[in-house]
Every structure is written in structure tokens, then in C-alpha cells.
Structure 1
Amino acid sequence: MPYASTGDGKVYYESHGEGPALVLLHGGGGNHAAWYQQIPHFKQRYRVITIDLPGFGLSLIDSGRFDTGLHPAAIEAVLDHAGVDRVFMVSQSLGGYSMLSYAVHHPERVAGIVMTSTLGPVGDEISDLNDKGREQVRHLSVADFLLTKEFQEKEVEKVHLFFQVGSFNQTGPGRPNRLANSLKGSVSIQQMRDAITAGVSISILEGGADVMVYKPAYARLRELLPEANVQLVEGAPHSDYWENPQRFNSVVDEILDRAYQAG
């Protein structure tokens, strides 16, 4: 089992396939195992690296501190341990906080990012708009927040598997330890613009059926940061990678193809 060490503990990761490095960063209900429908697809062309962010899966925290602020250092530790100089990263929900933070602070190591299911780490006025979207769904159960009603009714086994995967986490939705989010709203529009200027491809996917999506936030982001690819994915729910992996994988494939052709 490969572990990368940080000052706060050990970070578990896996590496599959060969080619340009592609890191997959899970959401709050997942860990490295959540990407089982992506790894076989992407490892045909890329070296796919999955990470258990601190507090999730097999990663170990020595300090007992559960905070997204530990996550960017975990990414760097894994890249160093795996011998990766430059990487493309894809995140779902919670994983976007550490991914975006790492990308703007280390653009020399990041070829591009695809952020799905959240605008949470984006600051300035986007943060306030995003909070309005969150208020709209605070009444939902964890299951209804993460998975659509239709999927829950039709795919009972996969719903069970979804929560079984999350049961190995120390923190996250429904887990015993509360996760502090010091990275919320921590990245400014200017930092994102600077990262793009430095060569980082930034794509942000707006799920057309994501209960978390507050459309005015994405519309305003398009206005403030036209340099980024803020892309609507029709019909995509919050956990599209789990519910409709073929669509999710296809959209990411198209973004990766464009980015590498441009590079």
C-alpha cells in the first residue's frame, strides 16, 4: 500500500495505468474506491492516481484535526512520492476545494483542472452567491443531497454501495468527526486568472440537475472569468460520476483532449 507522508499523517493513494498523470479527488461521501467506474476507463490513456484525502478512506491523521486545510499538502505529498512533476486533476464536490487551492498556488505543477459539483472554494462575490444555493438544499437528507430520487429508487444496490464506500471515512456526511472547511471561499477570481495565464487549464462543470447548483453563481462566474471553461452539463446531478459514469467520463475526456491538443 503506497503512503505519502505529511506533517499531519500519512496519505493513502493508488496508481493505475501509464501515461500523463491524472489525479482524481473524491467528494465528501467518497474516497479512492468511489472512482471504480472511472479508473478502468481513464487508465487506458493516463496514469490515474486516486487519493484518500486526510480524514477519508485509508489515510491517517496524527493530529486529530479534520480540516480541508490539510488537503492541498496531501496532494503535494502524493505527487512527490509518486514522482509526478505535472498533473491534470479532476474533482467531485469536496475535492474541488483542495484541487483549486493547490492549482492556484502551484501552477507550475498543474496542467489543468476539472472541478465538478461545487463552487465552494471560489471567493469574492461568487462565495455569497454559492451560499444562497446551499440555503436552498439545507432541508434535504444526505441521500437526497448526494443522489437523485430516481437513482435511489431504480439502483438500490448501487445506492447501498455508495454509502458502504463512505462508511470507511472518519469524517464527511454522516460520519463521526466533523470536517472543518477552512478552504471555503479561499481562492479569488484574480488567483484563478493568474493560474490560467500561467498555463493552467480550468474547467468548471455546472450540473443541470445538481440540487446544489445556483445558476446565478455560475452565470456570474462566466462574466468574471471568461478565460475559464464554465460548462453546463445537461441533466447531470451532484454525483454524476456515480449515477451516470458514461456521461461523466465522456465530458472529462473531451476536456482532456482539448487541453492536450492545445498544449
Structure 2
Amino acid sequence: MISRDMPQRIVGRLQRPFGDLHYEASGSGPALLFAHGLGGNHLSWWQQVAHFAPHYTCVAFAHRGFAPSAAVAGGPDPADYAGDLAALIDHLKFSDVRLVGQSMGGWTMLEYAIAQPARVKALVLSSTSGTLDRRGCDPTGGKQYDAWLKDAEAKLKNGAARSIHPAVGVRAAERSPALHLLYRSIDEMAGPLDKEKLRAGLRRAANRRTAELKSFKVPTLLIAGGEDVVFPPFLASAIAATLPCGESALMPDAGHSPYFEQAATFNGLVEAFLARQR
């Protein structure tokens, strides 16, 4: 029988002004950190950590307010996310990092990369434009965005009527009902967190323009799902074209959570991108 040692794993809690930030570090090698979306927590990245831990030190954490991190009275403010990430990176004594952010996690990762570009070797934004204003990123002046939004709202209504989580989507739920169930279960771990209030805060914080990133030299990959009804997939290539070191990839039949729905394809894209940054 061929035996394989499992990657080293550490479960920790970093004390922050709001309370404890839960994190898990697995594997060894260059630092690779993951920030989850509104419907997730550190567990969302189970398929990525298992894949990358043999070659990277993978760190997944739960944003403030998301269990098992401590709750925040009145709910978390997205403006605090990048500071929590900075504290975690310093706590773990990483000199440089590679960052992957999904949806809401893009707010965390992009803001850290803007503040600390010399420490970020690579940035992956999955189904997100982070703190960039979405409509403002539309090269058609908002026309394509408005048309997409109208269509997406109709699809969201249809999905809701069938109890399908919008971050997975109808077709993905039909293809992989077990993954859909797991996604919903992870989402429900957040408990009483007011996600609608947090979503409104995220929208208010997304006010950057691509012109602000003209000198942003961090290699950045934007991945989008062609069936996404939460993030406009066409924005991935549009934003990448404005960045000095930007590129994009489309997963045509994935929804809002390509990392969760089609992990092998997603991991392959990220793996190849990281290899090019060495």
C-alpha cells in the first residue's frame, strides 16, 4: 500500500479588537490565502485547500461576524476586512502572499493588495470586482450591465421560487445537488448575521474606478462563471483589460461559485496562473 503523509494543519484564533478571527493553515510552501464570499466561511475552500496544500501553505479564514469567528455587534463593516487580513498575514509571519478572493472576499483581497502591493505576488478575483464600482467598469457606459441586471433579476426570482441558492444557480444545483446542499449548509453556519445589511454595506464600499488602478502592478486573474446571476461575467475581461498585469478566464457553464461548482477546472486555472508568477 502506498502511503502519503497528510499536509500539516493548524487551527488558530487571532485576537482582534472585535473578538477572535478563526483561521486554518494547511500544508507548506509559499503562502496562499483564501477569502470567502457572503454565503461561506473558511470551509468553503475545502476543494482548494486539499488541492494546493501539498505545495503551498494554504490559509482559509472566516471573516469577522461569520462563525466560527466572533460575532460583531451591529454586524461587520467590510471596511475592516483588509485590516483583519493584514493582521493575520503579520501574525503568520508571511513575507509575501498569493491571494484568492471569492465574491465578498474580493473586497478583502483587492483592498489589501492595493495597500500592500509589494507583498502580493498574485491576486485571483473569482466572481467579483471587489471594491470597484461594477457599473462603472462596464465599457459600454452601463448599457450591457443594465441589460444583464434585468435578466439576472428574473433568473434570481425563478431560482428563489425553487429554493435554489443564488450563489450556486439553477443549472449547477441540478447537476450537483449534493454540492448545492453542502453550500447551503455552510451558508447557514453564519446564524443570525444580517446578510442583507452586510450586502448593502458592500455595495456602498464598491466605489473605486479602474482609473485608480493604472499603476497597480500586482498580477491579477479574474475568473468568472458564464451562468453567474450575481456578478456580471463580462466584467472579468473588461476589468482585466484595464489593469497593467491583468488577465481573465471564463468558465462558461459555471454560476457564481466556480471554485465550488467546478473545482478541478478552477484549481487548474489558479495553479497555472500562480506558476507564471514565480
For the residues of structure 2 that align with 1:176 and 1:121, how far apart are their CA atoms? 18
Contact 1:170 1:177 in 2 (8 A): no
Shift of 1:215: 5.4
For the residues of structure 2 that align with 1:116 and 1:192, how far apart are their CA atoms? 18
For the residues of structure 2 that align with 1:215 and 1:36, how far apart are their CA atoms? 24
Give TM-score scaled by structure 1 length: 0.85
Question: 1:126 maps to what in 2?
Answer: 137
Q: What amino acid does structure 1 have at the position aligned with 2:257? A: S
Shift of 1:71: 0.7
For the residues of structure 2 that align with 1:182 and 1:12, how far apart are their CA atoms? 25
Give TM-score scaled by structure 2 length: 0.81
Question: 1:187 maps to what in 2?
Answer: 208
Question: 1:5 maps to what in 2?
Answer: 15
Question: 1:167 maps to what in 2?
Answer: 188
Aligned ranges 1:95-244 → 2 under 5 Å: 95-123=105-133, 125-126=136-137, 129=142, 132=146, 133-139=148-154, 140=156, 141=160, 143-170=164-191, 178-179=197-198, 180-181=201-202, 184-196=205-217, 200-214=218-232, 217-218=235-236, 220-225=238-243, 227-244=245-262
Q: 1:72-127 CA deviation, whole Å, 9 max, x = no partner?
A: 11101111111112100011111011111110111122111000112242148217
For the residues of structure 2 that align with 1:62 and 1:226, how far apart are their CA atoms? 37
Q: 1:146-181 CA deviation, whole Å, 9 max, x = no partner?
A: 113233234323222111111111577xx5673122
Question: 2:265 maps to what in 1?
Answer: 247
Shift of 1:233: 3.0
Q: 1:236-256 CA deviation, whole Å, 9 max, x = no partner?
A: 321111111111111111111
For the residues of structure 2 that align with 1:109 and 1:170, how far apart are their CA atoms? 34
Contact 1:170 1:176 in 2 (8 A): no
Question: The residue matched to 1:72 in structure 2 has which SS?
Answer: helix
Go from structure 1 to structure 2 and tell me whether the alpha carbon gap of 1:67 and 1:136 turns closer, same or farther (over 3 Å shift): farther
Contact 2:237 2:247 in 1 (8 A): no
Question: 1:74 maps to what in 2?
Answer: 84
Q: What amino acid does structure 2 have at the position aligned with 1:247? A: T
Mark the runs of 5 or more structure 2 residues left unpaired by the alignment: 1-10
Please, which of 15, 18, 23 is the counterpart of residue 25 of structure 2?
15
Q: Percent identity, aligned pairs only?
A: 26
For the residues of structure 2 that align with 1:74 and 1:136, how far apart are their CA atoms? 36
Mark the runs of 5 or more structure 1 residues left unpaired by the alignment: none
The aligned length equals 255
Contact 2:19 2:70 in 1 (8 A): yes
